[in-house]
């Protein structure tokens, strides 16, 4: 199956790009029926943009590793009155120089990658040994997606129209970042909860635009290409069909998307959200698909929050295909939501088998997790 090209007219929500005092971009997205934010002036006196990290090539694994020592000074769990993602009001200046907004995507002030853009050398073409001992600038782009002006809450508690705006922001930024020089893979994600390592409580996510295919994405892409060449079928499409047929791991299904706990789940809570149509990334979704995605994804995270009396920490990772024609032909967009929470008061930590060998041992069956999520429907 050949994925469809990005649909015409899918993006229906207004947005405007403004610039912060140090030159970083801030893209303001407005809810449907709300006019765009036209005038933004950042009056802060900021130091020069942070950056200057590097990437090093690991010859043993064939992977790039980013080194971002400058991030040690980044903001860490500030009190609500000093939150950098709240609106600028009164005497409090923040990263968002507006008294109100719907959704804002801004370049990270402390980026792991960027702000410069360039091509990294191809290890297969230049020879891996030639890369040893030669660090390269950590080119790329890191962005922060601010879901709401409200300091409290989560994606699960957003009004439905705001959840739809976030989906639009993910799609628009995926398309824009994919077109930048040297970008090979765009990864939107959300870390929720201190147990995951969150450093800001304000509801937000992030987007990394890598100058290489991230290791997990590269492995998925290789298997997807191999499967397509051998069978003529997309691997994720086959998995989705098998999960729908089995049924006992299904959580919910809509017209355009299905949610299930994967058969070989690694984490005590792991869920996949998959479109029924093969698309390489969020930008390729139609307007109708984006409408349903906002509803289905919010339904999923609300169920996750109903599992326990306290909010469940999670990582919500959008697996988009690397930006090569072969990968986009074989790959299939999907969300993987995982949580280390294995009981009300217990977390799963990566032990030797998982951390050193990547060989996971799960404490909960996929069927048990799926049943709990089905029961958590409102």
The yes-or-no answer on residue 256 being catalytic is no
Helix, strand, coil % (nearest 5) of the chain? 30, 20, 45
Calculate ∠ Cα 101-106-110, nearest 5°: 135
Give dist(CA 200, CA 95) in Å, integer. 13
Burial of 252 (0-12, 13-18, 19+ CB in 10 A): middle
Let me know: does 15 contact 29? Beta carbons within 8 Å: yes
Element of type H or E holding 145: strand 141-146
Which among 204, 227, 272, 334 is annotated as catalytic? 204
Rounded Cα–Cα distance for residues 268 and 325 (Å): 35
Closest to 23 in 3D by CA, of 9, 3, 42: 42
172: its two tokens: 């628009």
DSSP lists the bridge partners of residue 54 as 67, 137
Dihedral sign for Cα atoms in the order 134, 209, 323, 243: positive
DSSP letter assigned to residue 2: P
Active-site residues: which are they?
Answer: 204
């Amino acid at each position: 199956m050949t994925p469809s090209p990005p649909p015409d007219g899918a993006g229906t929500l207004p947005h405007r790009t403004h610039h912060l005092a140090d030159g970083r971009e801030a893209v303001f997205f407005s809810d449907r029926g709300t006019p765009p934010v036209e005038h933004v002036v950042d009056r802060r006196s900021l130091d020069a943009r942070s950056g200057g990290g590097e990437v090093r090539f690991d010859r043993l694994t064939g992977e790039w590793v980013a080194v971002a020592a400058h991030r040690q000074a980044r903001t860490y769990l500030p009190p609500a009155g000093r939150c950098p993602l709240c609106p600028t009001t009164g005497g409090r200046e923040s990263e968002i120089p507006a008294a109100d907004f719907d959704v804002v995507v801004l370049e990270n002030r402390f980026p792991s990658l960027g702000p410069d853009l360039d091509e990294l050398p191809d290890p297969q073409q230049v020879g891996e040994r030639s890369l040893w001992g030669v660090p390269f600038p950590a080119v790329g782009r890191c962005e922060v997606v601010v879901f709401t002006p409200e300091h409290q809450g989560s994606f699960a508690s957003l009004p439905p129209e705001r959840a739809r705006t976030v989906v639009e922001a993910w799609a628009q930024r995926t398309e824009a970042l994919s077109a930048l020089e040297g970008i090979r893979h765009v990864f939107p994600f959300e870390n929720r909860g201190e147990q995951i390592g969150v450093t800001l409580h304000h509801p937000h996510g992030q987007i990394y635009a890598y100058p290489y295919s991230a290791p997990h994405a590269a492995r998925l892409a290789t298997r997807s290409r191999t499967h397509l060449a051998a069978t003529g079928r997309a691997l994720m499409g086959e998995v989705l069909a098998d999960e729908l047929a089995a049924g006992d791991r299904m959580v919910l299904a809509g017209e355009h998307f299905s949610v299930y706990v994967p058969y070989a789940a690694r984490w005590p809570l792991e869920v996949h959200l998959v479109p029924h149509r093969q698309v390489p990334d969020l930008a390729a979704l139609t307007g109708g698909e984006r409408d349903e995605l906002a509803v289905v994804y919010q339904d999923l995270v609300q169920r996750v929050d109903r599992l326990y009396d306290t909010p469940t920490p999670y990582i919500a990772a959008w697996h988009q295909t690397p930006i090569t024609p072969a990968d986009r032909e074989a790959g299939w967009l999907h969300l993987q939501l995982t949580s280390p929470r294995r009981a009300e008061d217990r977390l799963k930590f990566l032990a030797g088998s998982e951390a050193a060998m990547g060989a996971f041992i799960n404490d909960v069956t996929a069927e048990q997790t799926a049943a709990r999520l089905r029961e958590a429907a409102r």
